[in-house]
Amino acid sequence: MGFTMAKKVAVVTGSAGGLGRGIAERLAKDGFAIVIHDINEELLNQTETEFKDNGIEVTSFVGDVSKREDQFALVQHAVDTFGRLDVFVNNAGIEAATPLLEIDENELQRLFSINAFGMLFGTQAAATQFIKQGGGGKIISASSIAGHESYAMLGTYSATKHVVRSFTQTASKELAKYKINVNAYAPGVAKTKMWDRLDAEMVKHDPTLKPGDAFAKYTADISLGRYEMPDDVANLVSFLASPDSDYITGQTILVDGGMVYR
């Protein structure tokens, strides 16, 4: 890719581990200087050290995506460190597995503040910087198969991921005049710590399930016959961050190995 500067710069939220870390590693391989971010400072510092040991041009930022000022401070840190911003990945998110009749205000507040408000605040912060730079830029957010279809036990999580899809469409319409592309990726079932927690929560609410059963049940429905790896998601994000996706905006693209067909 012919960069106008020596480097393009990408921010990935929630990237100390899991899918976010995989995305950050891939974008580094694609030639981006990387800003990794997480609320877990200890894990973030460890990841930053490992990235530096692997020759990645990286800086880190500890922040809470649910706080609007933190998201703007994250973008400012990227610009202060590397001089500009080109790609912002709203990856941070949390899960919960609760029967619908037991969902309470605390769960709603927690998941919406991180998954939905956090995605919006990150989009606002990134777009503000892109406009200041004269336009252009990519905003890429984490939705989910649960943003296409709502699942039993995952009511709040599914609702927040539908919100991501909705804000992606709205942002793409409003920001198109600035040549800013706004898209989302919708992963399926990956063997991450998030899924370990979901599996455990589902077992807690259903005594007929043994540990691992929920994960096995969901992965059994994947057409390609295997669960998702971080690279599967990172490959799509890499494409959405590249000039090859310049004519795609407002889309939430499934990367689920063949689970959701609509």
Could you list the active site residues? 157, 161
Instruction: Confirm if 155 and 100 have CB atoms less than 8 A apart.
Output: yes
- List CB contacts of 40: < 8 A, sequence separation 6 or more: 16, 17
CA 68 to chain centroid: 17
Whole-angstrom distance, CA of residue 116 vs CA of residue 113: 6
Radius of gyration, CA atoms only, the chain: 18
Instruction: Confirm if 30 and 24 have CB atoms less than 8 A apart.
Output: no
**Residue 43 CA: distances (Å) to CA of 1, 36, 37, 72, 259:** 31, 11, 10, 22, 32
Q: Kindly give the pairing relationship between strand 252-255 and strand 181-187.
A: parallel
Q: What are phi and psi of 138, to 5 degrees?
A: -125, 130
User: What single-letter DSSP state applies at residue 61?
Assistant: E
* Angle, vertex CA 224, rays to CA 219 and CA 229, nearest 5: 65
Tally Cβ neighbours within 10 Å of residue 104.
10
Tally Cβ neighbours within 10 Å of residue 145.
23
Whole-angstrom distance, CA of residue 22 vs CA of residue 238: 11
Q: Kindly give the pairing relationship between strand 8-12 and strand 87-90.
A: parallel
